[in-house]
Amino acid sequence: MKRKVLTLIAAASMLIASLSGCGTTDTGTAQEAAVAATDTPAADKEEAQADSSSSDAYQGELTVMHFSTEEEAKGNPGADGFRKMVAEWEESHPDITLSQNILANTEYKTQIATLAANDDLPDIYVLQGMDAVRWGADGLALDLTDVVVNSPDNVKYKKELFNAFTSDGKIYGIPALTGGTCTAIIYDSKLWAEAGFDTFPTTWEDVVKAKDFFDKKGITVMGFANKDQWQANSTFLTCIGNRFTGMDWFSSLVANDGAMFTDQSFVDALTFMQNIFASGIFNEDFNAIDHYTAREYYISGDCAAYIGGNWDMTYIGATLEESNPELFANSKLAVFPQPEGATGDTDTQANGLGYALAINPKVAEDPAKLAAAIDFIYKTTGADFANYVSSNYAVSGLTAPDSVDLSKFNQLTQDLYNFTYVDYKSSQIYDSFISGALWGALNTDLQSMLNGDITPEAVAENAQAAYEEVMK
**Based on the domain organization, do 127 and 38 belong to the same domain?**
yes
CB burial of 357-383 (b: ≥16 within 10 Å; e: otherwise) equals: bbbbbbbbebbbbbbbbbbbbbbbbbb
Per the domain annotation, does 369 fall within a domain?
yes
**Based on the domain organization, do 147 and 38 belong to the same domain?**
yes
Per the domain annotation, does 284 fall within a domain?
yes
- Contact (Cβ atoms closer than 8 angstroms) between residue 157 and residue 151: yes
**Based on the domain organization, do 228 and 143 belong to the same domain?**
no
**What is residue 36's three-state secondary structure?**
helix
- Residue 39: what pLDDT? 39
Q: What's the CA gap between 219 and 288, in Å, rounded?
A: 19
Q: How many residues does the structure list for the chain?
A: 472
Average pLDDT per 10 consecutive residues for the chain, totaling 472 residues: 48 49 33 37 38 57 97 88 98 96 93 96 96 93 97 94 92 93 97 98 98 98 97 97 96 94 98 98 98 97 97 93 97 98 96 93 97 97 95 91 91 94 92 90 98 98 96 87
**Based on the domain organization, do 188 and 301 belong to the same domain?**
yes
Residue 103's identity, in one-letter code, is L
Backbone angles phi, psi at 166, to 5 degrees: -120, 135
Residue 419's identity, in one-letter code, is F
- Residue 11: what pLDDT? 53
Parent domain of 139: 2-178+361-403
Q: What is the CA angle 310-125-129, rounded to 5?
A: 55
Residue 410 gets which letter from DSSP?
-
Q: How far is CA 139 from the centre of its chain?
A: 23
**Based on the domain organization, do 93 and 18 belong to the same domain?**
yes
**Based on the domain organization, do 391 and 426 belong to the same domain?**
no
Per the domain annotation, does 409 fall within a domain?
no
Per the domain annotation, does 408 fall within a domain?
no
**Based on the domain organization, do 250 and 271 belong to the same domain?**
yes
Global pTM? 0.78
- Residue 15: what pLDDT? 56
- Residue 251: what pLDDT? 92
DSSP notation for 300-335: TTSEEEEEE-HHHHHHHHHHHHHH-HHHHHHEEEEP
CB 208: neighbour CB atoms within 10 A?
16
- Residue 103: what pLDDT? 97
**Based on the domain organization, do 277 and 163 belong to the same domain?**
no
Q: What's the CA gap between 125 and 131, in Å, rounded?
A: 12
**Dihedral sign, Cα of residue 397, residue 398, residue 404, residue 406:** positive
Per the domain annotation, does 124 fall within a domain?
yes
Q: Please count the structural domains in the chain.
A: 2
**Based on the domain organization, do 306 and 430 belong to the same domain?**
yes
In CATH, what number is assigned to the domain containing residue 69? Answer: 3.40.190.10
Per the domain annotation, does 356 fall within a domain?
no
Helix, strand, coil percent content, the chain, rounded in steps of 5: 55, 15, 30
**Based on the domain organization, do 381 and 241 belong to the same domain?**
no
DSSP notation for 162-231: GGGGEETTEE--EE-S-BEES-EEEEEHHHHHHTT-SS--SBHHHHHHTHHHHHHHT-EEEE---TTSHH
- Residue 76: what pLDDT? 86
Q: What's the CA gap between 374 and 381, in Å, rounded?
A: 11
**Based on the domain organization, do 399 and 420 belong to the same domain?**
no
The CA–CA distances, whole Å, from 302 to 207, 219, 293, 368 equal: 16, 5, 12, 55
Per the domain annotation, does 441 fall within a domain?
yes
243: Cβ–Cβ under 8 A, 6 or more apart, which residues? 269, 336, 338, 339, 342, 344, 345, 346, 348
Per the domain annotation, does 386 fall within a domain?
yes
- Contact (Cβ atoms closer than 8 angstroms) between residue 369 and residue 142: no
- Residue 20: what pLDDT? 40
- Residue 159: what pLDDT? 92
- Residue 435: what pLDDT? 87
**Based on the domain organization, do 267 and 396 belong to the same domain?**
no
- Contact (Cβ atoms closer than 8 angstroms) between residue 386 and residue 397: yes
Q: What's the CA gap between 215 and 56, in Å, rounded?
A: 69
